[in-house]
Amino acid sequence: GQQVMQIPQYQHVQEGEDFTTYCNSSTTLSNIQWYKQRPGGHPVFLIQLVKSGEVKKQKRLTFQFGEAKKNSSLHITATQTTDVGTYFCAGRIRGSTLGRLYFGRGTQLTVWP
């Protein structure tokens, strides 16, 4: 079954609105990574969070890792058309084989002008 759950599956926003995608695991994660896949492209690494409660920012993107290391979120402030794509979270489940990542199903973001 799905080890890492991600919601929502789809999000449509008007340019300038905010966007958030959420990632949850029933088991503790050693780390959480976020990837972006543009339409027609392949997933590209955005960031990794390792520490409990960690918050990192990349310009308009804010990434959080929960205190219990079981959930994470990606928030985009004032979306732009260049933000269009599918955002995936991926975590390493504590105790699993070293290097193996468990991906969420992704959130497909559409931004209309």
Partner 1 sequence: DVKVTQSSRYLVKRTGEKVFLECVQDMDHENMFWYRQDPGLGLRLIYFSYDVKMKEKGDIPEGYSVSREKKERFSLILESASTNQTSMYLCASSLGHTNTEAFFGQGTRLTVV
Question: What are the residues binding partner 1 (CB under 8 A)?
Answer: 6, 9, 30-31, 33, 35, 42-45, 48, 50, 88, 90, 92, 97-106
CA 37 to each of CA 26, 41, 68, 71, 107: distance values in angstroms, whole numbers, following the listed order: 25, 6, 27, 21, 10
Q: How far apart are alpha carbons 112 and 70 in whole angstroms?
A: 32
Rg (CA), the chain: 14
CB of 42 to partner 1, least distance (A): 4
CB of 16 to partner 1, least distance (A): 28
CB of 19 to partner 1, least distance (A): 18
Please, which residue, 55 or 78, has the CB nearer to partner 1?
A: 55
Please, which residue, 30 or 80, has the CB nearer to partner 1?
A: 30
Q: How far apart are alpha carbons 101 and 84 in whole angstroms?
A: 24
Q: How many C-beta atoms surround the C-beta of residue 11 within 10 A?
A: 18
Please, which residue, 85 or 104, has the CB nearer to partner 1?
A: 104
